[in-house]
Amino acid sequence: MFKKFKTIAVAGAVAGLLGIALSGCSTAEKAISEADCGTENAFCIGVVTDLGKVDDKSFNQAAWEGAQAGAEATSGFAKYVETTDSKDYAKNIALFGDKGYNVIVTVGFLMAEATVAAAAQYPDTKFIGVDQFNGATTTNVTGLIFDEDRAGFLAGYLAGNLTKSDKIGGVLGMKEVPPVRKFGEGYEAGIAYAAKELGKTIKSSVIYHAAGDTAFSDPAWGASTASQLLGQGFDIIFGAGGTTGNGAITKTAQTAGTFCIGVDIDQWNTVPEAQPCLVTSAEKKLVKGVTDLIIAANDGTIAAGNFVGEVGLADYHDLSSSVPQEVQDKVTAITAQIVSGELATGVKP
């Protein structure tokens, strides 16, 4: 099966400090290459994506950007492989494990079982499982997890304060993946909280993609599902689930008078075609979380178990003027309560 690879090699810190090339010494001559992986002087990072492409402008892309930042911070080498079939998880991990990579980042809940199995096979490699709860505390596995329900709640609360039609929708990946479910249920909880606070009824409809290998790579379904909701008078759409969610928000952007909400990273920067409606994104600070754990793996401070990453809402960007200051103040106040845990979302773990 065809697999797509990309690499980044980072030179020693001296060449990068001032952003200038040193005379008589090229970056290529100083950089670590894959041939160095497995040797004492090399620090190598491999990323195995979840189903879908590394440039999904969302989840996989954020993990890869975190690996690139981690490689830069540690003067290391990073490479990814894209997974197109769930049967290839173990095989793709082995592509890095067999070469003695120091860190392997496996992206997505669906890869949890394969990650734990590989950790036993490659005990000298540190594994970072993005969205993988490390319940057994495997000694060389760190689960990078997030409180998606909190980010979803904040997105729903904002939507509840912005809707004009009192109909708010969501188009998400497969519900069988816990982070997706938590995003969706948190979103609806936030809508309900806003409705109660405002003393009115707001209808919410969150639609999940059927389980399967296309759940996070089906922009056509995302667009058609969003279109159905828009046709029924829903004026805010939350898209969450790789390119499936991207299809939903880009479709919403074609309808005047609507808002859309992105996911995982600030999609204002990654899905510019959605900017006409993109009021914010329900963020998981994936790039930072992956970067921080790679640095910890390099300096020997990474711990087994679970590392809880940060969540929140992205900037309103050009749509800030469409969000009344009173609403912005309310969102700021409730964000502090949600992120601290003072206010619970009510969503089951």
- pLDDT given at position 339: 93
Point out which residues pair with 280 in neighbouring strands.
261
63-75 pLDDT, tens digit each: 999 999 999 999 9
**Reduced DSSP (H G I as helix, E B as strand, rest coil) percent helix, strand, coil of the chain, to 5:** 45, 20, 35
- pLDDT given at position 135: 85
Look up residue 25 and give its DSSP letter. B
Each residue of 298-324: b (16+ CB within 10 Å) or e?
beeebebebbebbbbbbebeebeeebe
146-174 pLDDT, tens digit each: 999 999 999 999 999 999 999 999 999 99
294 close to 313: Cβ distance less than 8 angstroms: no
27-60 pLDDT, tens digit each: 233 478 899 999 998 999 999 998 878 988 888 9
Domains of the chain (ranges, CATH numbers): 5-146+286-308 (3.40.50.2300), 148-284+316-340 (3.40.50.2300)
Average pLDDT over the chain, rounded to an integer:
91
- Which helix (H) or strand (E) segment holds residue 104: the answer is strand 103-107
CB 290: neighbour CB atoms within 10 A? 28
Percent of the chain exceeding pLDDT 70 equals 91
Query: What does the radius of gyration of the chain's CA atoms come to, in whole angstroms?
Result: 21
- pLDDT given at position 65: 96
> pLDDT tier at 7 (50, 70, 90 boundaries)?
low
- Which helix (H) or strand (E) segment holds residue 246: the answer is helix 242-252
Order of all β-strands in the sheet with 167-174:
203-209, 167-174, 236-240, 259-264, 278-284, 311-313
pTM listed for this prediction = 0.85
